Amino acid sequence: MKRRTFLKNTSLAAGMLTAGIPYSCKDAKAGASTDTAELQIQPITTGPQQHWFGYYDKQQIDTSGRYALGAEVEKFFRSPTQQDVLRVGLIDLEQGNTWREIGTSHSWGWQQGCMLQWIPGSDREVIWNDYGTDGFISKVYDIKTGETRTLPRAVYTLSPDGKFALSLDFDRLQFFRPGYGYPTKTPVTNWEKAPDQAGIYKMDLQSGASELILTYAQLAGLDREAGSVADYYHWFNHILVNPSGTRFIFLNRSRPVPSSSDMSAYRKENPEWNQSGKGHWLTRAITANTDGSDLYALNDSGVFSHFIWKGDDTICAWAMPDGGGDAGFYEFPDKTKNARQVGKGIMTVDGHNTYVPNTNYKWMLNDCYPQGEERLQELYLFHVPTEKKISIGKFHEPKHFTGEWRCDLHPRCDQQGKRVFFDSTHKGDQRQIYAVDISGIIAAGPR
């Protein structure tokens, strides 16, 4: 029996609607189409406050599928300060999406929030970042007892077994990449290029004991065929541990020294600081053991963006292969240069890619940045073996959601792989969290 897709409850601003518009699964090579099951987009938060979750590689939904996490703040369009308090909430999906505030944070950004997430494997512990007396910290909250314990370092990513976290210098990140780090009480403006006493840290999630496992100086001195970047300013971003917790990937970004001594102007778009006109920073994707050993420059093309682990030994990322070629989604076997493109001609723009749980890496969930004059962000599934794409919907992002305070969809699945949750501004003037059931699509497969 044929099935059709009709997206409901997705009214867009300025009179644009997706309701009633069919979206089909298409094979870009063969031009074939496949009908899909009826879908409904449902909000799980409402205004007047803004609600969102944050990044796409964190666990928003608990192991039972009942509780979702979310962040709440008033509506404004600027960088947050420490005076802008973010409220952390638990959403009961089985009781009318009721919101229960469980804490607050003074350390957050528009893109990744406060790193709010469930500790992997736990049905009761939630973690997020905050600011303490002496700097950035993280808080672990038990939803069953209401008790909170504090860890001495903010977290960036957690190991899949929930035993350790990896972290970095969020104040340095905020200066060089606003929106991803956190504000401090006294901002630093005179940064060292590549310090040897700071970098990536590993912290035990029970004891709070931590150690510095990689420094900026180490990465600045790492051999690079295209030329040394030892005299550049360096920072780290986007850390992710593989499923077995043995290796991790991160981005080492660097930028030439400006001729001006005024570091406050350093973040401005100035061709003088670009490398050969290729952009305002250089990106290297690096993998390493989780003790900081066995560094490997996985990609040094300068173009490497969103990524996810495919098992323990392969990374799928939006990138350009070393040696040139078109940007796209590629699979990169760790510690090799054997990149293989995925979804050529189909997944043609950068997005936030993950694999749908319990599908043996056959289904990918993805989105894109606003496209065209209507600024539509597409949310879709991609079936890797058949290279078929199923569009879940296209969502309008108003123009005032831009730059640091843009609202990417950042789609993420529940741990069962049955529902997709995403942040969106398609109602016109506020960001909220939405959900859609994809279990019918996954069960039926592409047609």
Q: How far apart, in whole angstroms, are the C-alpha atoms of residue 128 and residue 402? A: 25
* 18-32, 279-293, 301-315, 386-400: least confident range: 18-32
Percent of the chain, pLDDT > 70? 87
Identify whether 1 is part of a domain. no
Half-sphere exposure of 397 (CA within 13 A, CB side): 22
Largest CA distance in the chain: 68
Identify whether 8 is part of a domain. no
Please state the rounded mean pLDDT for residues 328-355: 97
Identify whether 447 is part of a domain. no
Please state the rounded mean pLDDT for residues 406-411: 97
pTM: 0.90
pLDDT at 429: 80
Identify whether 14 is part of a domain. no
pLDDT at 9: 35
Identify whether 12 is part of a domain. no
Question: Which range of residues forms the domain containing residue 436?
Answer: 35-442
> Total domain count for the chain?
1
**Residue type, position 246, single letter:** T
Indicate the pLDDT class of residue 287, thresholds 50, 70 and 90.
Answer: very high
Higher pLDDT among residues 111 and 266, named by residue = 111
The token duo for 40 is 């409904």
pLDDT at 30: 24
pLDDT at 3: 32
pLDDT digits (tens, 9 = 90+) for 191-218: 899 999 999 999 999 999 999 999 999 9
Q: How far apart, in whole angstroms, are the C-alpha atoms of residue 8 and residue 47? A: 20
pLDDT at 36: 43
pLDDT at 263: 65
pLDDT digits (tens, 9 = 90+) for 353-401: 999 999 999 999 999 999 999 999 999 999 999 999 999 999 999 999 9
pLDDT at 50: 95
Identify whether 78 is part of a domain. yes
Has residue 243 got a pLDDT over 90?
A: yes
Strand partners, 434: 43, 422
**Residue type, position 105, single letter:** S
Indicate the pLDDT class of residue 267, thresholds 50, 70 and 90.
Answer: low
Indicate the pLDDT class of residue 189, thresholds 50, 70 and 90.
Answer: confident
Please state the rounded mean pLDDT for residues 338-343: 96
Has residue 24 got a pLDDT over 50?
A: no
Among 331, 334, 418, which Cα is nearest to 381's? 418
**Please, which residues have CB within 8 angstroms of residue 270's CB and are 6 or more apart in sequence?**
258, 280
Among 349, 353, 352, 320, which Cα is nearest to 337's? 320
Indicate the pLDDT class of residue 260, thresholds 50, 70 and 90.
Answer: low
441-445 long-range contacts, CB within 8 A, separation 24+: 441/36, 441/37, 441/381, 441/390, 442/356, 442/359, 442/363, 442/417, 442/418, 444/3, 444/36, 444/37, 445/383
- Beta strand 210-215 with 25-26 is unpaired
| DSSP-assigned letters across all residues of 256-307 | PPPSSS-GGGTTS--GGGSSTTS-SSEEEEEEEETTS-S-EEEE-SS-EEEE
Identify whether 326 is part of a domain. yes
Q: What rounded mean pLDDT belongs to the chain?
A: 88
pLDDT at 278: 44
pLDDT digits (tens, 9 = 90+) for 136-173: 999 999 999 999 999 999 999 999 999 999 999 999 99
Domain harbouring 64, CATH code = 2.130.10.10
Identify whether 378 is part of a domain. yes
Residue tagged 């931590």 (tokens): 210
C-beta neighbour count of 70 within 10 angstroms: 24
Indicate the pLDDT class of residue 41, thresholds 50, 70 and 90.
Answer: very high
pLDDT at 179: 87
First to last CA, the chain: 11
| DSSP-assigned letters across all residues of 303-365 | -EEEEEESSSSEEEEEE--TT----EEEEEETTS---EEESTTTS-S----EEPTTSTT-EEE
